[in-house]
Amino acid sequence: MEEHQRAAVTELVADLLELSAVDRGNNWGKASPPGRFAATVIHLSPGLRHAYQEQAASSQIGEIGVKVFKPTPDASREARRVVPFHRAGLCRLPGMPNERVQRSLDAGFRRDRLSDERAFIVQQWLDGDTLEELVRRRWPTQPAEGAVVRSIIQQLLGGIVIPLWGEGTVWWDIRDANYCYAAATGRLSLIDVDSLGAYADEILHTPQVWTKREKGRETALARLRQMAIRLVLAQGLGSKQKVTASLTAAWQAELEPALARLGKEADRTPEATIALQRFFDQLEARGLIEPRDAATTAS
């Protein structure tokens, strides 16, 4: 992003937040590098007074960030799809709010000083590393602790997927980059919820129809299994081929059938929770995960 564009985005966000002249003259936030559609996400400095302060406090949200989209045609098309969802759809999905899912406070469109229309989303800020960063950067050289791996899988499935899928909120976009792990608290969070917007109409307006969600669930199940394999492999246990075969057998025997029934049939959440424990029992028996008594409890 060129300097004049950076200045325009900074001013746009400062206006959106209604920052004082004094705060504007100080270092009031930290900007992240651009992404596919986002020009940046600005993490507000703790203690900064801003227009969303009361709303954040009432939602028990500590720190916030502001995502600003690029003004490119592709980014604008994506923004027109996700902004209405963040404004009015996300909070209405069954099972929301979930303490492990990033929340949105506001979303909309504004023109910057260059007359570019830019979309914005004001979101909860969650500290930590994405699982993608950990799997690619840290764990290859410093293997993950077994207790951490078990906790992450437990939170991913038991804290996010099973509760939401059990309410009918099913989505397909399961990937390491969408989950943030905060080592300081041991908490795993879903930080990218845009893909849920593709299912919002079906979930909210025709909950008896499962056309999109069943197609998405098939993709999600395969991705969840692969994510579990990568997490177990991050401990440095055995060969990839052996771990993959062993975990897949346990997954298909215990967990996948229960996950496939969530939401569509009568309340299957207790069944899926039990299946998750049986899955862990098999992983323990196969030497792929630490026993629960040895694992730390995530907050």
In the chain, the N- to C-terminal Cα span, in Å, equals 38
* Predicted confidence (pLDDT) per residue in 130-156, tens digit: 999 999 999 999 999 999 999 999 999
**Is residue 193 domain-resident?**
yes
Pair (189, 269) in one structural domain: yes
- DSSP string for residues in 118-139: EEEEEEE---SEEHHHIIIIIT
Residues 51 and 17 sit within 8 Å (Cβ to Cβ)? yes
State yes or no: pLDDT of 296 exceeds 70.
no
Total domains, the chain: 2
Q: Please calculate the CA angle 230-184-296 and round it to the nearest 5 degrees.
A: 65
Pair (266, 155) in one structural domain: yes
Domain that holds residue 174: 129-294
The single-letter code of the amino acid at 119 is A
pTM of this structure: 0.91
**Is residue 44 domain-resident?**
yes
* Predicted confidence (pLDDT) per residue in 205-253, tens digit: 999 999 999 999 999 999 999 999 999 999 998 889 999 999 999 999 9
Q: What pLDDT band is residue 298 in, cutting at 50, 70 and 90?
A: very low
* Predicted confidence (pLDDT) per residue in 30-58, tens digit: 999 998 999 999 999 999 999 999 999 99
Pair (68, 191) in one structural domain: no
Task: Determine the pLDDT at residue 243.
Answer: 95
77: number of Cβ within 10 Å: 10
Question: Strands 104-111 and 64-69, how do they pair?
Answer: unpaired
Pair (152, 104) in one structural domain: no
* Predicted confidence (pLDDT) per residue in 197-213, tens digit: 989 999 999 999 999 99
The CA radius of gyration of the chain, in Å to the nearest whole number, is 21
CATH code of the domain in which 143 resides: 1.10.510
Query: Residue 237, exposed/middle/buried by CB under 10 A (0-12, 13-18, 19+)?
Result: middle
**Is residue 227 domain-resident?**
yes
Rounded distance between C-alpha atoms, residue 122 and residue 259, angstroms: 32
